[in-house]
Structure 1
């Protein structure tokens, strides 16, 4: 198991309605969890082969201590970079210890 030495915070934004529909208002986001966890790369970055797209997707696996109330729209701040959720969280136990495992992604140009 990786050491929990990455400072991680989980942020949640309210769902708001406007003329275009519903969306998350990230200017009103609140921090719902903060502490030490582990953020580990689990796959290489994906760079599309077609020259029409100029983005790359980086994915990581994140381990947080305890049972975190995770929402699929939450964002993570890890080492000064913003990451988006990439699926549901997975709570698991190791003996008497409880952890939350989740995947996150970041799209860059």
Structure 2
């Protein structure tokens, strides 16, 4: 039985919100099923979310994998674009990448360097 699309969209939007609020922190990773360098994971108490660009270029198609607390794959979605879930997965990939790369801290540091008197 496939996961309900509304429930999946709720999870995706919650992950995006928590990531943007810096309540969770994604890490760069590589797994056997996600061998690209653009693979990001988030481990929570009851499971792990892994997201990657399937062809490694940072764009569609994306893969979203949800694993249970024992590491078993409980859902895997390939998103080639089009629709709310696909758009959500693309946005989740973007915020997960920025989190793993610590993009906000780097940008803040650069802004500080430029606003401090030389």
**TM-score by structure 2 length?**
0.29
Greater per-residue helix proportion: 2
Greater per-residue strand proportion: 1
